[in-house]
Structure 1
């Protein structure tokens, strides 16, 4: 599976697309495949301040429940209402319509690049 090179990644399989001081957050295709078909997504509320590494939501599939972890410090400025209504978007388009939330970044972004993420996942 292709890993977009313009994104940054966490070891928990979230991706981050930084545009200025706002970043879009989602889960990778690798994670979406491992999780399976999603039936429920819980996201942090707009205005919530979250710290890097903090559990800030969850995704539930027919197989399991997985926590979402904040990839950076910041304040949630938008959530993807389409994903709340149709959780399967995370699985069908993880790097596009399946994004989860946007955060105003407060602090450094210290994440994996695409090559390091591919090494972590065995190149899948």
Structure 2
């Protein structure tokens, strides 16, 4: 069973998001997703300043098993990437909810969080 922090919201495409009090959304992939991908080898980040819609492809991850697209769970402007992952993509495997975050979005509409899953709903989905 994957570890699922209850303060996060989850997309059906296996991304997690946390929006702080300033409306900044931190995005990463779930423990389930990183386990499914296997050891990560490289990341292709979104461009800073890019305006992205919820559900749009934001970036990609390449593992020893495959490449995987990562989607934006909320709409907004890409304002930061986790540069530590350029030299150490395995951080995503080691700390998917902490040091392995992927990018940050200045969210346009926080009500989009209502379309995402709670930790319990996500757990039911991955349990099948």
TM-score calculated relative to the size of structure 1: 0.96
Alignment-derived partner of residue 29 in structure 1: 31
Give 5+ residue unaligned stretches, structure 1.
Answer: none
Question: What's the offset of the Cα at 1:45?
Answer: 1.5
**Which runs of 4 or more aligned residues in structure 1 lie more than 3 Å from their structure 2 counterparts after TM superposition?**
none
Name the residue aligned to 2:43.
41
| C-alpha deviation, 1:84, in angstroms | 1.8
User: For 2:116, which of 88, 111, 120 is the aligned residue?
Assistant: 111
In structure 2, list runs of 5 or more residues that go unmatched.
none
SS at match of 2:101: coil
More helix by share: 2
Q: C-alpha deviations, 1:65-101, integer Å up to 9, x for none?
A: 0001110110011000001221100011000000000
TM-score, length basis structure 2: 0.93
Partner Cα distance (2:105, 2:118) in 1:
19
Give 2:125's aligned residue. 120
The count of aligned residue pairs is: 123
Q: What does residue range 1-124 of structure 1 map to in structure 2 within 5 Å?
A: 1-20=2-21, 21-107=23-109, 108=111, 109=113, 110-122=115-127
